[in-house]
Amino acid sequence: MDASVIVPVVAIIFGLSIPLLAIWTDYKKERALIEKGLYEPEKPEKSGPRWHGTFLWGLILTLVAVALMLGSEPFPGVPFQPGPVLLAVGVALLVYSFIVKREKPAE
């Protein structure tokens, strides 16, 4: 076989085997802890109310849609410009952060 075939094949095999080895060793470690009775599952972090993620994505998508509608009108012959879309995402994130910051944390 030629080296131009062997190198990609070896790279693919090692590239796929390293993550599988990491998963397998983590599995074996957890099994050993369970057998000894020392296993404690990881507790998920509190990330706020459930609606925060939905609100953020709704705000981003709405402002991106508005930016696409308004950004394509002024210059019909000019190709697509990413500026309005990036501005819309930035404004959406700022509005979201101000709304979440004003909300009092429930403890």
Q: Does pLDDT of 106 surpass 70? A: no
Give the residue-averaged pLDDT of 74-96. Answer: 78
pLDDT for res 86:
82
Share of the chain above pLDDT 90, in %: 25
Task: Tell me the CB-side half-sphere exposure of residue 58, using CA atoms within 13 A.
Answer: 5
Check: CB of residue 85 under 8 Å from CB of residue 69. no
**Which region holds residue 78: left if phi is over 0, alpha if psi is between -120 and 50, else beta?**
beta
Q: Does pLDDT of 91 surpass 80? A: yes
Give the residue-averaged pLDDT of 60-75. Answer: 77
Distance CA 14, CA 49 (A): 42
